[in-house]
Amino acid sequence: MKVHRIDHIGIFVHDLPAAKAFFLDLGLEMLGEGKVEGEWVNRMGQIIGLQYAQEEAAVLRTTDDANLEIVMLRTPEGDTKIELVKYHTPSENDKQYPLVNNLGIQHIAFAVEDIEALVTKLTMKGAELIGEISNYENAYKLCYVRGPEGIILELAEEIK
């Protein structure tokens, strides 16, 4: 028994068009998009514990009427896929971006070419450069960029 690869990374978002545009601007390619609802997604929601806050209550409930949209993207070489998910039902909880030192996944790292041009392109479209592009031991140019939904990307260009 062995693991072959990571199939995809799922990111839940409030603003699906903005997140989609951000990753397309980064250079990912569209694989497809569509709506998902019905018995299968309801069953999966129950399995993974999809929950929503009941109006004015501190009680979380599972749902049996999930309705969502997805966008599937991939890197040009096709070895990494990103799945963007927007839930319509149940509606999302309040938008809260986690602090970078919270437990869990903090960022996604991409190996890139021409990091300066890519950062310029992304920031002109509304992304935020966190800090600066730095030289890591004369091996990589590195930086962090925050996009829509608080998504943080690490960009790394190998210095040859």
Q: How many CA atoms are closer than 13 Å to the CA of 12, on its beta-carbon side?
A: 13
pTM for this prediction? 0.77
- Residue 55, pLDDT above cutoff 50: no
With H, G, I as helix, E, B as strand and everything else as coil, classify residue 66.
coil
Quick: pLDDT tens for 86-123: 877 655 555 555 565 666 678 899 999 999 999 999 99
**CATH topology for the 105-160 domain:** 2,3-Dihydroxybiphenyl 1,2-Dioxygenase; domain 1 (3.10.180)
Q: Which residues of 141-158 are buried (b: 16+ CB within 10 A; e: fewer)?
A: bbbbbbbbbebbbbbbbe
Other residues' Cβ atoms within 10 Å of the Cβ of residue 15: 14
Interstrand relation of 128-136 and 140-146 (parallel, antiparallel or unpaired): antiparallel
Residue ranges of domains in the chain: 1-93, 105-160
Domain 1-93, CATH class in plain words = alpha beta
